[in-house]
């Protein structure tokens, strides 16, 4: 093949690939009407998203409010144990099904990272209105963590991040950006999203698990709101979101609590370490590392320890948490702290939520 012909074919292929590239949709135009309305969160553009709330018992009211964002393919039910645990400590929790997930509109379709971030900002405003006079925090698990970062550090509206949230909690945040992925993984996704964006894939055959809590995972396997087959263009979409979160994280303002488990098999340690390292000198930053923790830290078998830390930090944000998990941060950031091999600690899973 001559050089001229090779260049011509490359040009044609590039034009075809660009023509097949997934469109980037602008976020919706938000109006002033975001509200928490019973079991529905009405976002600023009028979209109605299923809402769950857990509020403290009694007449005293909450001392703080947490707006919780679930992970990829999950829904607000991800916080069914988190909500009561924090409510018992007088911290209200509100969680909604994000667009494209759970019972929200567009199930299975990627709505765009900026759209998810815009909804998160609207939810914070609605929470401030519903619970006046108390601090409001944004909590994001996995994908929700990436959404939280982009929501508070990645928009140009002139609004102050501190006016939206008094702090942010990032649990196993999805910051696995393309530059930190193997080249073959990047290449496969690039080709797949252009050739077959609507193709759906499952986790079948992948020996990776999000938690050591098999009872919880068995329930997920039967959960009709859990998405088990993921569109390729949705995978590309969350990767774009992770790129944005990884790039913008050091623009966060105010207190930040980052949680990471050494047994996380979903989001590898290097990108988390890179982001945390850039935030290490940030005022109010706390990195809590859990040697027994997995990806679903808030639902793992040792979740009670993590939830105690979260509750204490929400009441008094600072560089430490009661369990001492923050003291492991220097060793984790240096790469000296790694997961210990499992020694028959748990049995094979009875069910896998990726494959019913």
Rounded CA-CA distance 46/121 in Å is: 14
> In the sheet where 35-37 sits, what is the strand order?
35-37, 40-42, 48-54, 91-96, 64-69, 136-141, 167-171, 256-261, 285-290
Looking at residue 182, its pLDDT comes to 84
C-alpha distances (whole Å) from 305 to each of 104, 273, 345 are 31, 22, 18
pTM: 0.88
Would you give the DSSP letter of residue 355?
B
Arithmetic mean of pLDDT over the chain: 87
Please write down the long-range contacts of 33-38, taking CB distance under 8 Å and 24 or more positions apart.
34/122, 34/123, 34/125, 34/126, 35/126, 35/129, 35/130, 36/94, 36/123, 36/126, 36/127, 36/129, 36/130
- % of the chain exceeding 70 in pLDDT: 84
Q: Is 206 exposed, middle or buried (0-12, 13-18, 19+ CB in 10 A)?
A: exposed
pLDDT of 353 > 90? The answer is no
Q: What's the Cα-to-Cα distance from 15 to each of 138, 194, 233, 240, 253, rounded to whole Å?
A: 41, 11, 19, 21, 41
Give the 3-state secondary structure of residue 184.
helix
Of 218, 204, 205, 219, nearest to 347 by C-alpha is: 218
CA distances from 56 to 90, 284, 336 (A): 5, 27, 41
H or E element: which one contains 219? helix 214-221
* pLDDT at residue 305 in the model: 98
Residue 185 has pLDDT above 90, yes or no: no
Band the pLDDT of 234: cuts 50, 70, 90: very high
Separation between Cα atoms, residue 217 and residue 245, nearest integer Å: 27
Asked if residue 117 lies in contact with residue 151, where contact means CB atoms within 8 angstroms, the answer is: yes
Per DSSP bridges, beta strands 230-231 and 200-201 are antiparallel
Q: What is the pLDDT of residue 226?
A: 95
Percent of the residues in the chain that have a pLDDT greater than 90, as a whole number? 70
| 289/327 Cα distance (integer angstroms) | 8
The pLDDT value recorded for residue 143 is 98
3-class secondary structure, 206 = coil
The pLDDT of residue 97 is above 80: yes
Give the DSSP letter of residue 12: H
Mean pLDDT of 85-92: 98
SS3 per residue for 139-178:
EEECHHHHHHHHHHHCCCCCCCHHHHCCEEEEECCCCCCH
pLDDT at 22: 54
> How high is the pLDDT of residue 341?
60
Please report the pLDDT score of residue 12 as a whole number. Answer: 36
| Of residues 106 and 207, more confidently modeled | 106
Confidence of residue 239 (pLDDT cuts 50, 70, 90): very high
Is residue 6 over pLDDT 60?
A: no
Q: What is the pLDDT of residues 260-275, one digit of tens each?
A: 999 999 999 999 999 9
Q: What is the pLDDT of residue 4?
A: 57
What pLDDT is recorded for position 233? 92
Q: What pLDDT is attached to residue 222? A: 92
Beta-strand pair 64-69/167-171: unpaired
pLDDT-derived band at 159, boundaries 50, 70, 90: low
Domain ranges (residues) in the chain: 49-334
Average pLDDT of the segment spanning 286-292: 97
How many residues comprise the chain?
A: 356
302: how many CB neighbours lie within 10 A of its CB? 17
Q: Which superfamily does 49-334 belong to?
A: Alpha/Beta hydrolase fold, catalytic domain (3.40.50.1820)
Q: What does the alpha-carbon distance between residue 92 and residue 137 come to, in Å, rounded to a whole number? A: 10
Decide if pLDDT at 9 tops 60.
no
> Does the pLDDT value for residue 76 go beyond 70?
yes
Mean pLDDT of 148-172: 81
Average pLDDT value for residue range 24-52: 86
pLDDT score of 190? 85
> Over 90: is that where the pLDDT of 207 sits?
no
pLDDT, position 161: 62
Q: Which residues contact 345 (CB under 8 A, 6 or more apart)?
A: 212
Please state whether 64 falls in left (phi above 0), alpha (psi between -120 and 50) or beta: beta
Band of residue 25 on the pLDDT scale cut at 50, 70, 90: low
């Amino acid at each position: 093949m001559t050089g001229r012909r090779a260049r011509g074919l490359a040009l044609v292929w590039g034009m075809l690939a660009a023509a097949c590239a997934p469109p980037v949709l602008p976020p919706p135009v938000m109006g002033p009407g975001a509200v928490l309305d019973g079991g529905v969160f009405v976002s600023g553009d009028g979209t109605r998203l299923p809402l769950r709330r857990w509020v403290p018992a009694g007449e005293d009211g909450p001392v703080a409010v947490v707006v919780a964002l679930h992970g990829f393919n999950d829904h607000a039910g991800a916080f069914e144990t988190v909500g009561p645990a924090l409510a018992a400590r007088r911290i209200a929790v509100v969680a909604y099904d994000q667009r494209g997930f759970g019972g929200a509109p567009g199930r299975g379709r990627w709505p765009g990272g900026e759209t998810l971030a815009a909804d998160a900002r609207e939810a914070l405003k609605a929470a401030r209105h519903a619970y006046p006079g108390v601090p409001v925090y944004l909590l994001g698990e996995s994908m929700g963590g990436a959404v939280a970062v982009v929501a508070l550090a990645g928009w140009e509206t002139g609004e102050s991040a501190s006016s939206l949230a008094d702090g942010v909690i990032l649990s196993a945040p999805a910051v696995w950006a393309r530059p930190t992925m193997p080249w073959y993984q990047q290449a496969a996704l690039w080709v797949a999203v252009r050739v077959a964006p609507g193709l759906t894939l499952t986790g079948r055959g992948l020996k990776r698990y999000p938690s050591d809590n098999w009872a919880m995972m068995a329930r997920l396997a039967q959960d009709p709101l859990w998405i088990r087959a993921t569109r390729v263009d949705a995978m590309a979409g969350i990767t774009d979101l992770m790129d944005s979160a990884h790039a913008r994280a050091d623009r966060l303002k105010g207190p930040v609590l980052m949680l990471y488990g050494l047994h996380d098999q979903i989001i590898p340690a290097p990108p988390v370490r890179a982001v945390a390292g850039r935030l290490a000198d940030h005022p109010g930053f706390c990195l809590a590392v859990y040697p027994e923790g997995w990806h679903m830290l808030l639902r793992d078998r040792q979740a009670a320890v993590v939830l105690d830390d979260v509750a204490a930090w929400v009441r008094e944000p600072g560089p430490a948490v009661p369990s001492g998990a923050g003291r492991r941060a220097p060793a984790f950031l240096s790469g000296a702290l790694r997961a210990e091999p499992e020694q028959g600690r748990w049995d094979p899973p009875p069910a896998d939520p990726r494959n019913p």
